[in-house]
């Protein structure tokens, strides 16, 4: 067992946007890395909270009642049931903490849905 994870090395393994990769698991939570650029889909998760930690870059978490800009080293927790939409002008690298089994597009579905994220 090697408990150490190098985020830079893991991020170098993939180039795709909006396709989260599992890099760890603890207490029923997945630790995921994702790269994104552009605008995702508006969605919510009825039963899961999500945490987004900006590893590098910046993005805006859009909510129906206002936007929250996030920079490298900042994080936001999106409570269950809250509709949101991440948006990044330039590529951003994000670490996610969310319950295992959380579908990235939540209630929206669609072509960006990743049902079973790859483990890297």
Q: How far is Cα 59 from Cα 78, in angstroms, rounded to an integer?
A: 14
The DSSP symbol for 7 reads H
Q: Phi first, then psi: what are they for 10, rounded to 5°?
A: -65, -40
Residue 63 clears pLDDT 80, i.e. is over it: yes
Q: Which domains does the chain have, with CATH numbers?
A: 7-99 (2.60.120.10)
Q: How far is Cα 42 from Cα 92, in angstroms, rounded to an integer?
A: 18
Q: How far is Cα 90 from Cα 120, in angstroms, rounded to an integer?
A: 24
What percentage of the chain has pLDDT greater than the value 70? 98
pLDDT band at 78 (very low <50, low <70, confident <90, very high): very high
pLDDT of residue 25: 94
pLDDT in tens, 21-62: 999 999 999 999 999 999 999 999 999 999 999 999 999 999
Residue 1 clears pLDDT 70, i.e. is over it: no
The reported pTM is 0.92
pLDDT of residue 95: 98
pLDDT band at 9 (very low <50, low <70, confident <90, very high): very high
């Amino acid at each position: 067992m090697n408990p150490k994870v190098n985020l830079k090395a893991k991020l170098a393994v993939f180039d795709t946007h909006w396709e989260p990769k599992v890099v760890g698991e603890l207490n029923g939570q997945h630790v995921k890395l994702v790269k994104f650029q552009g605008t995702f889909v508006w969605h919510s998760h009825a039963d899961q909270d999500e945490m987004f930690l900006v590893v590098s870059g910046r993005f805006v978490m859009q909510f129906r009642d206002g936007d929250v800009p996030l920079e490298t080293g900042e994080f936001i927790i999106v409570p269950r049931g809250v509709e949101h939409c991440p948006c990044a002008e330039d590529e951003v690298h994000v670490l996610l903490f969310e319950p295992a089994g959380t579908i990235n597009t939540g209630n929206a579905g669609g072509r960006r849905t990743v049902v079973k994220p790859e483990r890297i």
